[in-house]
Chains A and B, each alone.
Chain A
Amino acid sequence: MPGTPLGSHLLLGQPAMTLSAPDVTSLAVANPGMLVQSIDWLAIAPPLIAALAAIGVLLADLFLPAGKKKALGRLTAGGLALALIALLPLARGNTRSTFCLRNVAGATDNPLCSYVADHFALVFQLLALGGALIAALLSVHTVDEERLPGGEYWFLLLSSAAGAALLPASRDLATLVIALEVASLPAFALVALRRDGRGAEAALKFFLSSVTATAVMLLGISFVYAATGSLHLAAVADGLGHAPAQLKPLAEAGAALTLVGFAFKVAAVPFHFWLPDTYTGAPVPVAGYLSVVGKAAGLSGLVLATTIAFRPYGHTWGLALAVLAALTMTAGNVAALRQRGNTAHSAVRLLAWSSIGQAGYLLVPLAAAGYAGTDQPIGATAAYALIYGVVNLGAFAVVAAVSRRAGSRLDDYAGLFARRRWTALAMAFFLLCLAGLPPGVVGLFGKVVVFRAAVDAGLGWLAVVMAVNVVIALYYYLLWTAKLFAPAERVVTDGRLPTPLAATLGVTAVVAAVLSVAPQLVLQVAGGSLF
């Protein structure tokens, strides 16, 4: 159908039905079979399996007797594992794309596809689904002990994971927004599941800030659509380059507003205030999930919007993101430094602030990409996000283990080594990975690739700011580490760790240790372009 305006092919939210052509005449084509869209089921398998598992869990919850609700957790973990396995065939083959406006036989870089399973998408899907799987393992005993409603909990977790897995593969702004909402709406409910005042307050803060972000983003997207006539990212980039002069301010305002929306989602300064309260109010596994999967979702959306759609404005948003990254890491780390060990929930609060600091590091290669005008540095963000995901979930697993009996203040970690040797060693390892100090070699190399991206792009000042921040962060991570080995303040009798919790700890620690010996496994994503 050449010659028809591109935008008219798209119904908001229904990328699968993009062939509802408005003019009847165009239907009179020689081969009507071409109009039936072929869907590449293999390409969309990872998010689809997660979504189907969510529905399956919801249904199973209705029919399972009360005593057997524990099976739901296993079902969830199984579904997520299956979704992860579905990534394997995609990783081997070529880039696959589906939901295209026009099927171009044999073309791999069709700019008008709504779903593309390229390396970037696969890496972030791995992060989203893998992070969700670890969070699910972590949740098994929490759901049990805190008497959270099982069916709802697992359904919400899976839905959110499906959204987070869809997001990095979506290539038009509408799918992007929908995926982002699918990822975040269930998360509000997850935060609120703990039926106490803190949970409700946390969820409300999270909800209000997130909805504001979405509203701002939608406004921005509508401006962009008005100025460029398309929602497909590649076409937007093209349209921005050729926009008529009187539409330029509109396009620029639209791009800025869209970025503001994404900045909310990754909790970049100054849109970060909701985060510490949300984390402390949520159940610990949900906080871990948000810190990794929620952040990955926002980040991948930001990457897609900036490096593909707004590529013509690269230098502008590159600089803006560089400033944002510097502010975010500094604010996060300084606030984390100010956490006192004897206040309630200080452990989760410190991890929350430090995750803001880490989000700052994650933005650095992105800024470098815009500044240098190439998408090469994005690999560094992906690699760092993967590393951060593993070790941060590991740290949350330890927090979940310790807060069962001892408490969730930093002071409750004093003498952990004497009580639980391996838990303490694992925590020390995770913290040193987060700090980026040997023996946490993988954390160190994660920082090295981020530094390299900044230095490469000529953002020397940002690299120096980050160096100072790494030292600040080291200080509070180290204080926590030292606490683990300090003499105990009081005697706490810990029971045996529940098996799922011990398994989570073991898996994350082993993965982090293996990656420390062979960093190439994860750093290969930083080796070249992901798109």
Chain B
Amino acid sequence: MNAVLIALLLLPLLGAAATLAPLGADPAAADRRALRLGTAVTGVVLLLTVVLATGFDRGAPSRMQAVTDLRWIPAIGVRFHLGVDGISLPLIVLTALLTFLCAAYSTKRLPDGEGTPSARSFTGLLLLLEVGMLATFAVLDLVLFFLAFEIVLIPMYFLIARWGNGQRVMSANRFILYTLLGSAVMLLGFLLVGTQAGTFDMTELAAAHGKGLSHTTQVIAALAILAGLAVKAPAWPLHSWLPDAHTSAPTVGSVLLAGVLLKMGTYGLVRVLLPIVPDGTATFAPYLGALAAVGIVYGSLACLALALPSPTADSGAKGDLKRLIAYSSVGHMGFVLLGIASLTPTGVNGALFANIAHGLITGLLFFLVGAVKDRYGTADLDTISGATGAALYGRAPRIGALLAFASVASLGLPGLAGFWGELLAMFGAFDPAAGLSRPAFVTYMVIAGLGTLLTAAYLLVVVRRVCMGDPKQPAVVAEIPDIRPYEAVSWTPLAALTVVAGLWPALLLSLSDPAVKHLLGGG
């Protein structure tokens, strides 16, 4: 199986290199070939992850499987160490799925506009992005993890800066500067851990569970690592790059940013922070929980402000739908962070579940909002909804239905994917790990509960304003085409998996639970 895991990383890398090769004299034909190449490569990668998942020994998800462990840079003790367990496997499959769907979607609907470069560059960057995302979840060496963390920056920067719209260059700069400052600080934390413990190997460090690291070292390292990962996650108040990046990014950029890149932060918290510097983590857990609770309420309130009609008629594009979904991500990631901060198996399992659920649901939401934006030429809620509402139910019933479906999934309707993760995260906060202040965490839980109400409120407002309304009212765009075949192809898997994960949560929890207990217990 380890060959499969290596192939997963190598294949997109080769694909990205292949887009540099001459693909024909005619630029249009070369672009078509490049897009097809991208779809083929990401499709094969997805198949390989399915092979990996079927070959995964579900009886022992806490054990690292498909392991490769080679010397890479002996001079500084960096090893080429790969492996998957029950925590990383679902994220790898999710990454491959979302990238494939984005590649397939792009063959028909490539972002265009003034100054947009060729589809070849787009494919190359998308594949490079996939390398970085998959590598983040597959590597087991701290320095390699940092490397993978950084690989995604350049492709995502260019996807936003060149294929985006609006204030795209500024948003892209903001994105990369925030993340880079965070990850540079994170690297310092890694180096501190590595030099004090004498190894960068994540499995060894996790097994030691903080032994050999003094309390001071752990606190400093935990602070540095937490700061870096919290920017990526993003945790309030380090989230301010996110709404801009999402607003400017093209649809596929937003889908991958929300669906995968944010998960890299929370995955890092579970994989690195909890097991490697447990004492330091316990010191900061209450603060992380507080930030998470604030983030939940803040995200929901920001969304609510965006969802409600602007009081002034000409206040510009204030109710941007993409921006709204981006803020909702801040809220949802708040639940993930709250689950992690509880330091209990329940909470962490909930966090991991919410991670996947958020990837599926928000990916779908960004696709849908992107489609709405394509059709209307704007994502401004006030413009789209007009006086009574955009009436997608009447004018494009399938898109309307899917949007309503994704919204209720996002607000955590029982029976859909969004429900379990947030429930478990709050449950974890209700009974936090020994040594954490229970009253504080119960307070966070209550605040988070308030957040779920606000989430329900703004999502229902969005559904009312976009899906309902009078189809006869004069609209910005006369004819709204309903769902197109390529859109149906790229959205159906996400919708289906949302239902599956909602009805059969054990599918994911049985994988993550033993692995989480292993990481938390250190045994």
A residues near B, CB below 8 A? 425, 432, 437-439, 441, 444-445, 448-449, 451-452, 455-456, 460, 463-464, 467-468, 470-471, 474-475, 478, 482, 485-487, 519-520, 523-527
Residues of B within 8 A of A445 (CB): 73, 76
Inter-chain contact A452/B185, CB cutoff 8 Å: no
Q: Which 9 A-B pairs have the closest CB atoms?
A: A527-B75, A467-B184, A438-B151, A523-B75, A455-B191, A520-B73, A471-B181, A524-B75, A438-B150
- In terms of DSSP, what is the predominant structure of the interface of chain B? helix
Inter-chain contact A485/B150, CB cutoff 8 Å: no
Q: How far is the CA of A464 from the CA of B76 in the complex (A)?
A: 20
Beyond A438-B132, A444-B150, A452-B195, whether A520 also contacts B75 by CB under 8 A is yes
Residues of A within 8 A of B76 (CB): 445, 448-449, 452, 523, 526-527
Interface residues of B in 55-87 (CB under 8 A from A): 72-76
B91, chain A: closest CB distance, angstroms = 20
The segment from B153-161, B267-275, B370-378 that touches chain A is B153-161
The segment from B172-180, B280-288, B353-361, B471-479 that touches chain A is B172-180
Inter-chain contact A487/B184, CB cutoff 8 Å: no
Q: How far is the CA of A456 from the CA of B176 in the complex (A)?
A: 28
Beyond A438-B150, A455-B188, A467-B185, whether A478 also contacts B176 by CB under 8 A is yes
Q: Which residue of A lies closest to B128 (CB)?
A: A439
B275, chain A: closest CB distance, angstroms = 21
Q: Which residue of B lies closest to A436 (CB)?
A: B150
Inter-chain contact A438/B73, CB cutoff 8 Å: no
Partner of B157, one of A460, A464, A478: A478
Residues of B within 8 A of A525 (CB): 75
Inter-chain contact B195/A455, CB cutoff 8 Å: yes
20 intermolecular pairs with C-beta atoms under 8 Å apart: A438-B150, A439-B151, A444-B150, A448-B187, A451-B187, A452-B195, A455-B188, A463-B191, A467-B187, A467-B188, A470-B184, A471-B177, A471-B184, A474-B180, A475-B173, A478-B157, A482-B161, A520-B72, A523-B76, A524-B74
Inter-chain contact B72/A485, CB cutoff 8 Å: no
Q: How far is the CA of A437 from the CA of B192 in the complex (A)?
A: 21
Partner of B153, one of A425, A437, A452, A485: A437
> Residues of B within 8 Å of A, CB-based: how many?
37
B485 within 8 A of A: no
Q: Which residue of B lies closest to A432 (CB)?
A: B154
Residues of A within 8 A of B146 (CB): 448
Residues of A within 8 A of B72 (CB): 519-520
B162 within 8 A of A: yes
B117 within 8 A of A: yes
Q: How far is the CA of A445 from the CA of B143 in the complex (A)?
A: 9
A468, chain B: closest CB distance, angstroms = 7
B29 within 8 A of A: no
B79, chain A: closest CB distance, angstroms = 11
Residues of A within 8 A of B161 (CB): 482
B20 within 8 A of A: yes
Inter-chain contact B184/A519, CB cutoff 8 Å: no
Inter-chain contact A523/B187, CB cutoff 8 Å: no
Residues of B within 8 A of A456 (CB): 195
Residues of B within 8 A of A432 (CB): 154
Residues of B within 8 A of A451 (CB): 187-188, 191
Q: How far is the CA of A455 from the CA of B176 in the complex (A)?
A: 25
Q: How far is the CA of A441 from the CA of B185 in the complex (A)?
A: 18
Residues of B within 8 A of A448 (CB): 76, 143, 146, 187, 191
Inter-chain contact A444/B147, CB cutoff 8 Å: yes
Q: How far is the CA of A414 from the CA of B192 in the complex (A)?
A: 41
Q: Which residue of A lies closest to B172 (CB)?
A: A482
Q: Which residue of B lies closest to A525 (CB)?
A: B75
Inter-chain contact B147/A467, CB cutoff 8 Å: no
Residues of A within 8 A of B73 (CB): 445, 519-520, 523
B115 within 8 A of A: yes
B520, chain A: closest CB distance, angstroms = 27
Residues of A within 8 A of B74 (CB): 520, 524, 527
Residues of A within 8 A of B181 (CB): 467-468, 471
Inter-chain contact A437/B154, CB cutoff 8 Å: yes
Given A471-B184, A527-B74, 12 further pairs, Cβ under 8 A: A439-B151, A444-B147, A445-B76, A448-B187, A452-B194, A455-B191, A456-B195, A471-B181, A474-B177, A478-B173, A520-B75, A524-B75
Name which of A425, A441, A463 has the most chain B CB atoms within 10 A of its CB.
A463
Residues of A within 8 A of B75 (CB): 520, 523-527
Name which of B180, B184, B187 has the most chain A CB atoms within 10 A of its CB.
B184
